[in-house]
Amino acid sequence: MADTTVMDKLTSLAKRRGFIFQSSEIYGGTGSVWDYGPLGIELKRNVKERWWSTMVHQRADVEGLDASILMHPKVWEASGHVEGFTDPLVECSNCHRRFRADLPEVEGGQCPVCGTKDTFGEPRLFNLMFKTFMGPVEDDASVVFLRPETAQGSYVNFLNVQTAARQKIPFGIAQIGKAFRNEITPGNFIFRTREFEQMELQFFVEPGSDDEWFDYWMNARMEWHLSLGIRKEKLRFHEHGPDELAHYAKKAFDIEYEFPFGWKEFEGIHNRTDFDLTRHQEYSGKRLEYIDPAGGKRFLPYVVETAVGVDRTVLVALVDAYTEEEVEGEERVLLKLDANLAPIKVAVFPLVKKDGLPEVAGKLHAHLRARSIPSFYDAAGSIGRRYRRQDEAGTPWCVTVDGQTLEDGTVTIRDRDSLTQVRVNTDSVISWVQERLTVS
């Protein structure tokens, strides 16, 4: 059963601490579009940089790409999106809102918005792509779409990247970018939104080796999520059955997380065969075959795709980290984020606003920032209240400058999760933190 209480608490915390805000909130908000605040953008950047480091910087067989959002309309004809990227929708005759026909509430005959029963008409197909116009004249010749996925940019640039980077099969093209889907029934905070980011790898392989590479990437992607500190028992694979497989897929697995609203997919691994390159070769009239330099063999590569939502991964990290516990008879709410993902690494507090402590704390805070260690300075309120604010922000370490600092040059470092405290020389704080932020 869905636990809406946890999601309500997390949504409230996300706004209160500056992770995520409703888009255009002062105007009443924009449906299922979200803005990332000061802490949210740092968390999001940390997720993306961790993915890019793993998938591109640490590998010699993957190249990066940043393809444009607006592409030639024929790209989406070739990919099948123009013809088949639709969802069956029903409309409530009372409030005139539209919903996906497969929602449990809809299948039960009750409108999720107005609560009226038995007011739905027959399902109709609705295209999920956002349509706009290129140039000043709105006519059919100028129609373009906001991309619903980043993958097609990798396919149409396959030979450009392969030739320029002098790569040999097998190799991959990695991309992080925005995508847009006109979802009719989005929801669950940032899980299903109309504007979102994807991290996708299209790995091109010789036909016949695709099953081996599929297994490789399944294991590699699961290990990556575990490296973020996500609890193993909250993750699982789900294989697509014959009724679930996309028309282009030979095999597909989802990586699912157990959210408060149930097990849901946030990454997909797909064996797309040579469907995409074949279609683009057909529609463009350009040969997209790979020529093996060793023997001159020509073939259209198969593609093993790994596609993970940035926003969904952020949500996984937040949900998995959200913790309520009792400390000395008081409730403590904290985000047990992996230190490498945490938006703020260190919070610096002067114990009191006198005796020169703010000056010492401010100098340490500035030194941390100068070394690109995100630091937050806070001198407002009791030390306990300051600790609680940083616990909610997911800050792994709080440094307190106190009277002893002026005597022997040491400060107290308090660990977020264990609540243990150690004394460290002020000059050693930066190296102490850096040692604990090393990512393998």
pLDDT, tens digit, 9 for 90 and up, residues 359-396: 999 999 999 999 999 999 999 999 999 999 999 999 99
Least confident of 50-54, 293-297, 323-327: 293-297
What is the percent of the chain where pLDDT is above 90?
77
Identify the residue with better confidence: 168 or 243.
Answer: 168
Residue 298, classified by CB atoms within 10 Å of its CB into exposed (0-12), middle (13-18) or buried (19+), is exposed
User: Which of 211, 196, 205, 167 lies closest to 65, judged by CA?
Assistant: 167
Confidence tier at 440 by pLDDT (50, 70, 90): very low
User: pLDDT tens digits for 9-49?
Assistant: 999 999 999 999 999 999 998 888 999 999 999 999 999 99
User: pLDDT tens digits for 282-322?
Assistant: 999 999 999 999 888 999 999 999 999 999 999 999 999 99
Mode of pairing for the β-strands spanning 322-327 and 330-335:
antiparallel
Output the six-digit token pair for 145: 């779409």
User: Which of 242, 306, 226, 248 lies closest to 56, judged by CA?
Assistant: 306
Confidence tier at 1 by pLDDT (50, 70, 90): very low
Taking the CA atoms of residue 92, residue 96, residue 98 and residue 104 in that order, the dihedral angle to the nearest 10 degrees is -30
User: pLDDT tens digits for 104-118?
Assistant: 767 777 887 777 887
Please tell me the CATH code under which domain 4-78+139-319 is placed: 3.30.930.10
User: pLDDT tens digits for 222-259?
Assistant: 999 999 999 999 999 999 998 888 888 999 999 999 99
Return the pLDDT at 184. Answer: 67
User: What is the C-alpha to C-alpha distance for residues 440 and 438, in angstroms, rounded to an integer?
Assistant: 6
Return the pLDDT at 334. Answer: 96
User: What is the C-alpha to C-alpha distance for residues 87 and 82, in angstroms, rounded to an integer?
Assistant: 12
Contact between 123 and 144 (Cβ < 8 Å): no
> Taking the domains of the chain in order of start, what are their residue ranges?
4-78+139-319, 86-127, 344-436
Model confidence at 97: pLDDT above 50 = yes
Return the pLDDT at 123. Answer: 77
Other CB atoms within 10 Å distance of the CB of residue 325 = 12
Phi-psi region of 28 (alpha: psi -120 to 50; beta: other; left: phi over 0): left
Confidence tier at 3 by pLDDT (50, 70, 90): low
Identify any residues that bridge with 375 across adjacent strands, giving them in sequence order. 346
Instruction: Say if 4-78+139-319 and 344-436 have the same CATH topology.
Output: no
User: What is the C-alpha to C-alpha distance for residues 338 and 157, in angstroms, rounded to an integer?
Assistant: 36
Specify the CATH superfamily of domain 344-436.
Anticodon-binding domain (3.40.50.800)
Least confident of 42-46, 84-88, 118-122, 164-168: 84-88
Mode of pairing for the β-strands spanning 397-401 and 346-350:
parallel
Return the pLDDT at 179. Answer: 96
Return the pLDDT at 115. Answer: 78
User: Which of 227, 178, 179 lies closest to 53, judged by CA?
Assistant: 227
How many Å separate Cα 319 from the centre of its chain?
13
